[in-house]
Structure formats: C-alpha cells, structure tokens
Amino acid sequence: MIAKHFKLSQPEKDRLIRIKAKTGIQNWNIICRWALCWSLAEPTPPGGIDPLSDSNVEMDWSTFAGEYSEIYEAIIRQRCINDGFGDDEKTLAKYFRLHLNRGINHYSSRDVLKNCADLLKSAVAKEVE
C-alpha cells in the first residue's frame, strides 16, 4: 500500500471543488484517480516538493484506489523505477503525491476542463498519441 491515508493541501481541495463543479463528478476520489492517471501518462517526472497536508480532506488509500489498489500501486512503483527513483515506501508515497498534485493542477488549469466531456476527451487524446 502506497499510503494508508493521505491529506490534501488546501489549494488541492480548492482546485478539486472547481473541477467537481465543472464536471459534475461528485466523488473526489474519482477525480483524483483521473488526475493521477493523467500525470502518470506524462513523459516527465513531476517536479516540486510534497504538497502540504493542510486541508480537512483526508482520504484512505482504499477509498482512493478502490478495487484497483494493487494496479495503481504497481503502476506507481514501476513509474518510480523507470524514472530512476527506486521503489522504497517513502519514495512511492512522495511520487504518488507529486503525480496527484500535478494532475489536479492540470485539470484545474484554465480551459482544460469545461465539463465532463472534456475529461473524457483528455483520456482519449492520451490514448491516441
């Protein structure tokens, strides 16, 4: 398990509220899954430092990943190895949060999402490339 539970930063929470309003997706864990997958599909590793955990939004790994928790963990582990970071627990947790943060930032950027259809188009565009 990457992390038993994790807390989002206040800016991530604010961005998720905007994404939720644009897409109509009610569950933050679903939006977070999309954000993580978008970031993992990017060819470069996410930069920056771990986001603060200063909001009141906390999520269990099992809630975030659901029935696909082993798959998400394997993908994150392999990505860390491919990027040359190793796969110890601390590294996995750090890069999970960095990927999640990058994906949330992307989807909350201006003109990326106007509605739920744009979210679906972003997945199809990645698949076609």
Q: 41-86, pLDDT tens digit by residue?
A: 999 999 888 788 889 899 999 999 999 999 999 999 999 999 999 9
CATH number of the domain within which 29 lies: 1.10.1220.160
Q: What is the percent of the chain where pLDDT is above 70? A: 95
Task: Name the strand (E) or helix (H) holding 124.
Answer: helix 116-128
With beta carbons less than 8 A apart as the criterion, state whether 18 and 71 touch.
Answer: no
The whole-number pLDDT of residue 79 equals: 98
Q: In which residue are the tokens 């190793």 written?
A: 86
The whole-number pLDDT of residue 111 equals: 76
Ramachandran angles phi, psi of 84, nearest 5°? 80, 20
Query: How does strand 58-60 pair with strand 5-7?
Result: antiparallel
The whole-number pLDDT of residue 48 equals: 82
What domain range is 102 assigned to? 5-128
Count how many domains the chain has: 1
Residue 119's pLDDT band, with cuts at 50, 70 and 90, is: confident
